[in-house]
Amino acid sequence: MKPHPAIPIAGFLAVLAWLAAPATGLRAQDVLHLKTGQTVPCAIEAVTDNIVTFRLPGMAKNAPPRSAKMEAVEFIEFAPLPGEAKVLADPAKAPPETLEKLWTDKSRLLGRPRSNAGALGVLHARALLRGDDPLFWQRAIVICDRVRERDWDEKVRHDARETRVQALIRLERFDEARKEVAALIAETDDPGLTISLDHALARADLRKLIALQAENPRWEEDDFVRPERNRLYHEAVDRFLRPFLFHGTRETEAARGLLDAAEAHAVAGNEAERRAVLADLLAIYPNTEAAAAARGQTDPSQTKTNPTDEAPKN
């Protein structure tokens, strides 16, 4: 059925004014917010940059939908889709298929002012990154690219860029990740992305170290393998330690870095260093998950900590 042709603005506004409902406590429909300040509850059928097509409450099913020019509309308040509220309440627990459906259904609204399509897209991308399939991570990049290009909300666009970096890190596309992190850092003080990138690079080095030592079990005797082995080991540890040394109050990341450094020392067979970083972890970040994981891995009395630990504190 063809939509009713757009009526002139003045007439349209008169109609809408007649239809405009007073604010009610419950809302289950989309709402057009006009530039006049009036609101029109309706069910949006389609929206473009120029025109919005909608059905009014109580309209007969076979009645043609109404339409209006977007120039009269301040913004559209879109009703949540089924399940959307629950997802938004706790995105980390939302099933991936739910997020996918929400994104699929809402992505057509990407870029519409006040639409949360972009935010849902970012949540969906993050859920994809929690999986183990590199194809999912690739898909996350595609979604983030759309959101960062088109969403109306600067914060959501920023979130999309950050999530994209996380996807690049997972895919070990480190050079690209580095460039994007550098660009993001220029815009924000938050070192979170740099820490993520450094951590991923360090884990990659650690994996290479493990593989190299497995391939070269007598690497100490090999004058040509030894330098590469030492480089991987030291660079991994240096990177793991960076959150602790330079962002020490970001306790979760710093503690994780110390635990990972201990793992690297263990891989390298450096027991003294391993005990030392575990001692630091337990002393400085005792209440973190990393410390809980580390407990029992070391006997701190064998490691230099505070020489006066046994002495009266004050």
Partner 1 sequence: MKSRLAAIVFCGTPIVSGSGHGLFAQAPAPDAPPVQTPAGLLESARAAFDAADFATAESNFQRFMDDYGQAEETREAVRIHTPLLAVCKIRTEKFGEALEWIARSFEDPKLDPAIADELSFFRGHCLMLQRDLPGAQTAFGEYWADTAHHAARRYEALLLFAHLYLSQDLPETAAEMLADQVPKIRAAQPEAASRGAVLQLHALMASGQLDAALALVRDQYPRLEEMTQPVAFQTMTLSLGSRFLERQRWHDAIVCLQRIWPREKLLSHQLGKKAEIEKLISDRGANPAAQSQVMQLEGILKRVEREIANFEKVENYDSALRFRLATAFQGLERWREAALVLEDMLVTLPPDPVVDSASLATIQCWIQIGRWPRAVAAADRYLEKFADTGKNLPMVLYLRAEALREDLQIAEAQLAYGDLLERYPDDPLAGKAAFMQGFLYLQQDDNEGALFEFDRVRKNYADSGLVEDADYWSGMALAFSKQYEAAREAMRSYLEKYESTGAAAPKYRKEAVFRVAVCAFSLGEYEESIDLFDQFVAAHEGDPLADEANLLLGDALCALGEIDRGIAAYGAIRPDSIRFFEDGWFKTGKALKLTERFDEMRTHFERFASLYPESNRLPEAIYWIGWNDLQAGKPHKAREIYWETLELHGERPDLHSMEDLILALPMAYESDGKAGRGELLRRLEQMRFQADNADRPTLALRCAWGRARLLSLEDPARGRAALLALQPEIDPKRHNPMIAVDCAEALMDAENFNLARALLTEVRKWHPRAIQKDRVFAGLGRLAEEDGDTEKALEYYTRFERETAGSTRLGTVRLAKARLQSESGDTPGARATLEALLEDSAATAPQKAEALLALGETYAASREWKTSLPYFERVYVAYGKFGELNARAYQGRAQALERLGLNAEALEVYEELAARPDLRSFPQTGEARAGIARLESFRRKPAAPAEVAPQPTEAR
CA 32 to chain centre: 31
- Round to whole Å and give the CA distance between 152 and 119: 10
Question: Three-state SS string across 153-184, please?
Answer: CHHHHHHHHHHHHHHHHHCCCHHHHHHHHHHH
Q: Return the number of the residue (142 or 246) whose C-beta is nearest partner 1.
A: 246
CA angle (257, 184, 188) in 5-degree steps: 85
Q: Return the number of the residue (299 or 309) whose C-beta is nearest partner 1.
A: 309
Q: Return the number of the residue (248 or 269) whose C-beta is nearest partner 1.
A: 248
- Round to whole Å and give the CA distance between 111 and 277: 48
- Round to whole Å and give the CA distance between 183 and 98: 32
Shortest approach of partner 1 to residue 179 CB, angstroms? 20
Unique residue bearing structure tokens 């006040």: 114
Q: Which H/E stretch holds residue 47?
A: strand 39-47
Q: Return the number of the residue (97 or 223) whose C-beta is nearest partner 1.
A: 223
Shortest approach of partner 1 to residue 265 CB, angstroms? 10
DSSP 42: E
| Binding footprint of partner 1 on the chain (CB under 8 A) | 215-219, 221-225, 234, 237-238, 241-242, 244-246, 248-249, 276, 280, 283-284, 304-309, 313-314
- Round to whole Å and give the CA distance between 250 and 288: 11
Shortest approach of partner 1 to residue 304 CB, angstroms? 5
Q: Return the number of the residue (4 or 231) whose C-beta is nearest partner 1.
A: 231
- Round to whole Å and give the CA distance between 241 and 311: 29
Q: Return the number of the residue (36 or 188) whose C-beta is nearest partner 1.
A: 188
Shortest approach of partner 1 to residue 151 CB, angstroms? 29
Within 8 A by CB and 6+ apart from 120, the residues are 84, 87, 99, 102, 103, 106
Shortest approach of partner 1 to residue 228 CB, angstroms? 12
Shortest approach of partner 1 to residue 199 CB, angstroms? 16
Shortest approach of partner 1 to residue 231 CB, angstroms? 9
Q: Return the number of the residue (176 or 273) whose C-beta is nearest partner 1.
A: 273
- Round to whole Å and give the CA distance between 177 and 193: 9
